[in-house]
Amino acid sequence: MPFLCRTRKAALLGATALLTVGLAPPGARADIPDENYRPVLEHLLGVVMPPKLDALHDATANLSDEIDDFCAEPDQDGLDEVREDFHAAMDVWQEVQPWRMGPMVANGRDQHIEYWPDKHGTATRQFRKLMFDKPAIYTDREKIAETSAALQGFPALEQVLFDDKLSPKLLDDDEDGVFLCGYGGAIGANLERMTGELVDEWPAFAQGMMEAGPDSMDYPDAKFAATDLYRALHEGLLIIVSQKLGRPLGDGPKDGKASRAESPTSKRSLRNITHNLTGLFAIYDGKWGDTGEEGKGLSALIDSSLLDRSFRLNWQTMADALDKLPPSIVELLDQPDGYQKLADFAGQVSFVNTLVEGDVGGTTQLGGGFNALDGD
C-alpha cells in the first residue's frame, strides 16, 4: 500500500509536466467567460479576507494591551507573555502580508507595519541613535506614526522585545527601561491603529474590485480584477524565494548569513514563511483556516481535476519540507548541512512558482498578456 501511495503521488507530481505539454496554445483555447471570475473575487475579497484582517487587528490590539499591562509591572513572566503575543500577531500578519493590494500598500502601510528588507541597515543605525537621544516622539502613541517607517512597526518592536542587550532593560526601572516600555507601547498602539485602518478601508476597496465593469476606470472587467489576486500569489512566492530565502542564502555557502533574513532576532524567519504560505494558498484554494471554502479560490477556474490535484500535492510537498526545518534560519544555518537544506527548500518554492506561472497562470488565463509577459 505505501508503495502504491508513492507511485500514485509520483504520477500526480509528474502530471503537471504532461498537462503543460498537452495544453493547447493560448490562441486556440476558449476564453473563460468573465462572469466566472466574479465568484472568485467575491469569495476571496468579500468572504475570506475580512475576517483575517479582523484577526490581525484583534491580535495587534491584544499585543498593545499586553505591552501596557507588562510595563505597569515589568517581570520576566510578563515579558514572556508579551513575546508570545508578538508571535501571535506576527503569525497573522505574515498570512495577510502577501495580499499586496489596495489598503495593504496605500500610504506605504505594509512598510510601516513591517519595514523589511532593510537593505541599508537603516533601522539599526536609527535605533542606535534613538537609544542615545530617546526623543519623546517615539513614546507618543499618536506622533510615532510621523516617524521613520523603520522605527514604528514589527521589526522595531522585535528589537525591543527580543534583542539580547535591549530586552533585559525592559525589566529595569531606569531611564532606558522606562523609555523602552514607552516606545514598545507606542509601537503596539501604532500597529493597532494601522491594522484598524486596514479593516476600515478594505470593504470599499474590495467592493470596487467585485463590481469590476466597463464603467470602472480601475477594474474594467472581473478577469482584470482577478489578475491582482493571481499576481499576489505569484509575487508572494517570488518574494519568498528572492528575498526571504535569497537574502540569507547570499551568493553561496560562504556568503550565507542569517542576519539578512526576516525577523532574525525573534528567531522566526522560517515560521514567517510557513504563515506566508498559508495566506498564499488561500488565494488558490479559497479556504483559510476556519474561513472560506475549499475550491472557491483561483482553483475554481481550473477545469482539470488532475492539474488541480497535482498542484495541491506539489504545494503540500513544499509545505511539508518547510515543516521539517526549524522556525529560525539562525538555528538552521548553525547546522552542518543547514545551508544546503535552506537552498533545497528555496528550490522547491521556486519550482512551485513555475507551476503557478505555467499551470495556474495559463489555465486561469490570468498569467499576463502579450506586452506584460514579453515587452521591451
Partner 1 sequence: MKHQRREFLKLMGVGGAFTLLPISIARGAAPTSIEDRAHYISASAGDHDDFYVSAFNANGKILFEQALPGRGHDLGLRPNHVDVAAVERRPGLYGLILDRHSGEVRAKLHCPKDRRFYGHAVYSDDGRFLYITENDFDHARGVVSVWDAEDGYRRIAEFDSFGTGPHELHLMPDGESLVIANGGLHTHPDFDGRTALNIDSMEPNLSIIDRHTGKLIHQAALKADWHQLSIRHLDVAPNGTIAAGFQYQGELTDQVPLVGLWQPGSEIRPIEAPDNVQLRMRQYCGSVRFDASGQVFGISCPRGGLITFWDVKTSDFLTHIAAPDGCGLAATDVAGQFVGTSGLGNGWRMDAIRRNRVELPDDSLKSLHWDNHLRRISI
Closest approach, Cβ 362 to partner 1, in A, equals 15
Q: How far is the CB of 369 from partner 1 (least distance, A)?
A: 3
Least distance to partner 1 from the beta carbon of 222, Å? Answer: 11
Residue 275 has phi, psi (to 5 degrees) of -75, -35
Cβ distance to partner 1 smaller for residue 65 or 221: 221
> What whole-number distance in Å separates Cα of residue 20 and Cα of residue 355?
9
Residue with cell string 509601537: 187
- Min dist CB 180 to partner 1, Å, is 29
Instruction: For the CB of residue 239, give the shortest distance to partner 1 in the complex, in Å.
Output: 6
Task: Report the nearest approach of partner 1 to the CB of residue 47 (Å).
Answer: 22
Q: Quote the CA–CA distance of 121 and 123 in Å, as a whole number.
A: 6
Q: Nearer to partner 1 by C-beta: 147 or 167?
A: 147
Taking the least distance from each CB to partner 1, the nearer of 149 and 270 is 149
**Least distance (Å) between residue 198 CB and partner 1:** 13
Among 334, 352, 332, residue whose Cα is nearest residue 342:
332
* Element holding 93 (H helix, E strand): helix 76-96
- How many Cβ atoms are within 10 Å of 371's Cβ, its own excluded? 8
Provide the binding-site residues for partner 1, judged by CB under 8 A.
25-28, 100-103, 105-109, 111, 117, 119, 214, 216-221, 223-224, 227-228, 231, 235, 238-239, 242-243, 368-372, 375-376
Cβ nearer to partner 1, comparing 157 with 209: 209
Residue 114 or 308: which CB sits closer to partner 1? 114
Query: How far is Cα 355 from Cα 367, in angstroms, rounded to an integer?
Result: 11
Long-range contacts of 351-354 (CB under 8 A, 24+ apart): 351/314, 351/318, 352/237, 352/314, 352/315, 352/318, 353/234, 353/237, 353/238, 353/241
> 39 or 117: whose CB is closer to partner 1?
117
Which secondary-structure segment (H or E) carries 333?
A: helix 329-334
Task: Select from 366, 363, 240, 244 the least CA-distant residue to 311.
Answer: 363
Amino acid at site 233: L
Least distance between partner 1 and beta carbon 74 (Å):
36
Rounded to a whole number of angstroms, the CA Rg of the chain reads 22
> 155 near 118, Cβ under 8 Å?
yes
Q: What single DSSP character describes residue 304?
A: -
Between 305 and 371, whose beta carbon lies closer to partner 1?
371
Nearer to partner 1, 44 or 161 (CB): 44
SS3 275: helix
DSSP single-letter state for residue 365: T
